[in-house]
Amino acid sequence: MTRLLHLSDLHFGAVEDRLLAPVLALARDLAPDAVVISGDLTQRARPDQFAAARAFVAQLPAPVLVVPGNHDMPLYNLALRLLAPFRRYSRAFGPELEPQLALPGAVIQGVNTADPLVWKAGRMRNTSRRRLARSFAEAASESWRIAVLHHAPVPASDGTPADMARPADALAALAAAGTDIVLSGHTHMPHSGFAETAAGTLFLQVGTAISTRRKTGANDFSLIELHPGRVTRRSWLALPGQGFAEGPAEHFRKETGEWQTDGAVPVPAAPPAP
Ligand SMILES: [Fe+2]
């Protein structure tokens, strides 16, 4: 079994300080094979916020795969936003905006969906699509193919439309690349599921792990357990003023190329012919 700790939307600069030590302690106790952070490490992409985010990430169990979010580009410094939107991010987390990580049984490919030309929506660049397809084509057949994006091309859990340009195209590109699982953030609302048009791609979204910018009334993060043919997501939730407590687990199986949730009522078998 390979286990991934999935955190998102840390928003250093708007952090619930009391949650920092508990998240780090749980991360150490859970001892995942890797940690994935799906963007928005900072609130306003300021150097001091990146320094705090970097110090936090350095305390997580290695390896850590990070991608940028829309909050990781300067908002008010337009020259920097347009000419070098990821300069500050790269100083903290390195020049690779779309890192890859290979683990036993899984290949994880980062996708940078942050777009400096718009306010907060994302997009999936053609270069990213090609890179994703190449990365997954080269992976061993039995490996889970996992893409990490800040923005997901599916509606949020409250029905808000995907905050991404041409979401149907992006969804099709993920499916065409053979993506089994997408790990994402952005909405600050945890979510899981798959689109009818792409039942081979499972979307696992978390809210904000440690920020005050909650949309659901709770902070949360997940541990994803990868088995051959099936995946379990365990989630931890912290209500305001409380520590993290483990919530219900979700179980998913992938059979004949399509995801199913365990516990779903199976379609009744056809009655035997008379
Ligand atoms: Fe965010």
Task: Kindly report, residue by residue over 214-224, the tens digit of the pLDDT.
Answer: 999 899 999 99
pLDDT value of position 114? 98
Question: How far is ligand 1, taken at its centre, from the CA of residue 39, in Å?
Answer: 7
Say how far residue 199 (Cα) sits from the centre of its chain: 18
More confident residue, 164 or 263: 164
- Residue of 2, 5, 6, 20 whose CA lies nearest to 211: 20
Question: How far is ligand 1, taken at its centre, from the CA of residue 132, in Å?
Answer: 23
Residues 170-195: what's their mean pLDDT?
95
- Helix (H) or strand (E) run with residue 57 in it: helix 47-58
Question: How far is ligand 1, taken at its centre, from the CA of residue 142, in Å?
Answer: 33
Angle, CA of 250, 254 and 259, to the nearest 5°: 70
Question: How far is ligand 1, taken at its centre, from the CA of residue 187, in Å?
Answer: 7
Question: How far is ligand 1, taken at its centre, from the CA of residue 121, in Å?
Answer: 11
Residue that has been written with the tokens 């936003």 in this structure = 81
Q: Please write the tens of the pLDDT for every residue from 57-101.
A: 999 998 999 999 999 999 999 999 999 999 999 999 999 999 999
Question: How far is ligand 1, taken at its centre, from the CA of residue 231, in Å?
Answer: 25
What is the torsional sign of CA 138, 139, 145, 150? negative
Question: How far is ligand 1, taken at its centre, from the CA of residue 41, in Å?
Answer: 8
Question: How far is ligand 1, taken at its centre, from the CA of residue 194, in Å?
Answer: 22
What is the torsional sign of CA 197, 203, 207, 208? negative
Phi, psi of 17 (to 5 degrees): -55, -35
Kindly list the distances between the CA atom of residue 106 and the CA atoms of 207, 251, 272, in Å, as whole numbers in the listed order.
23, 18, 41
pLDDT value of position 265? 39
Provide the pLDDT confidence category of residue 263 given band limits of 50, 70 and 90. Answer: low
Among 3.40.50.2300, 3.60.21.10, 3.40.50.12280, 3.40.630.10, name the CATH number for the domain at 2-261. Answer: 3.60.21.10
